C-alpha cells in the first residue's frame, strides 16, 4: 500500500504535460511539428520522442534507437521554451498519426497524438501558427471591427 501511494504521489509531483501539438509544412513534402510541454520547476532536461504507432521516428534519448527507415527522414530536437520539434521529410499522401512523447528520467511519459492530413497542411508562418494555436483569439479579432461598426 505504501508503495502504491508513493508511486501515485510521485506521478502527481512530476506533473509534466503536453500543452499543445501544432504542425505546418516547411516545404512541399516536409512536415514541422511542434510539441509544447510544461514541466515542474527545477526539472532535469526531459527526453522527447515522436512515434507513429510502434515505430520510433526520432528521439532525444541517446539510449533509444531510431527506426531505420526514418534515419534520414526525421529529426527531433528540444528548443528553449519547452518545445520539442520534429522535422519530417517526404510526408506521405493522406492522413498520418504522429505522437509526441515527453518523459523525465525515471517517470512515465506523457503523450499527445495528432492526425496530419497532407492536403490540408498549411505552410509554416506566423499566420498558420496563429490559426492552430489561438483560434478563439483570432475569431475575436476578426469580429471586433464588425462589432465596433
Domains of the chain: residue spans and CATH: 17-123 (2.60.40.10)
Confidence of residue 20 (pLDDT cuts 50, 70, 90): very high
Cβ proximity of 18 and 110 under 8 Å: yes
**pLDDT tops 60 at residue 112:** yes
Q: Alpha-carbon distance 122 to 103, whole Å?
A: 29
DSSP-derived secondary structure letter, 123: B
Residue 119 Ramachandran class (φ > 0 left, ψ -120 to 50 alpha, else beta): alpha
Q: Alpha-carbon distance 110 to 18, whole Å?
A: 7
Q: What is the pLDDT of residues 2-14, one digit of tens each?
A: 443 433 434 444 5
Q: Alpha-carbon distance 49 to 26, whole Å?
A: 20
How many of the other CB atoms lie within 10 Å of CB of 43? 15
Confidence of residue 125 (pLDDT cuts 50, 70, 90): confident
Q: Give me the mean pLDDT over the 88-98 stretch.
A: 94
- Entry pTM: 0.73
Q: Per DSSP, which regions of the chain are E strands?
A: 17-27, 30-38, 47-52, 55-59, 74-79, 83-88, 95-103, 110-117
- Report the interhelical angle of 126-133 vs 135-148 (nearest 10°): 100
Q: Give me the mean pLDDT over the 9-35 stretch.
A: 81
pLDDT on residue 6: 39
Q: Select the more confidently predicted residue: 129 or 43.
A: 43
pLDDT on residue 144: 54
18 - beta bridge partners?
Answer: 37
Amino acid at each position: 500500500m505504501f508503495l502504491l501511494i508513493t508511486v501515485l504521489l510521485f506521478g502527481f509531483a512530476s506533473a509534466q504535460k503536453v500543452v499543445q501539438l501544432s504542425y505546418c509544412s516547411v516545404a512541399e513534402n516536409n512536415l514541422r511539428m511542434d510539441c509544447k510541454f510544461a514541466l515542474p520547476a527545477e526539472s532535469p532536461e526531459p527526453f522527447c520522442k515522436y512515434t507513429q504507432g510502434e515505430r520510433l521516428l526520432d528521439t532525444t534519448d541517446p539510449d533509444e534507437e531510431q527506426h531505420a527507415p526514418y534515419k534520414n527522414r526525421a529529426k527531433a530536437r528540444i528548443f528553449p521554451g519547452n518545445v520539442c520539434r520534429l522535422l519530417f521529410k517526404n510526408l506521405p499522401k493522406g492522413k498520418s498519426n504522429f505522437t509526441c512523447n515527453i518523459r523525465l528520467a525515471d517517470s512515465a511519459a506523457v503523450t499527445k497524438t495528432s492526425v496530419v492530413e497532407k492536403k490540408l497542411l498549411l505552410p509554416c508562418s506566423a499566420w498558420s501558427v496563429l490559426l492552430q494555436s489561438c483560434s478563439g483569439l483570432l475569431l475575436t479579432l476578426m469580429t471586433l471591427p464588425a462589432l465596433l461598426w
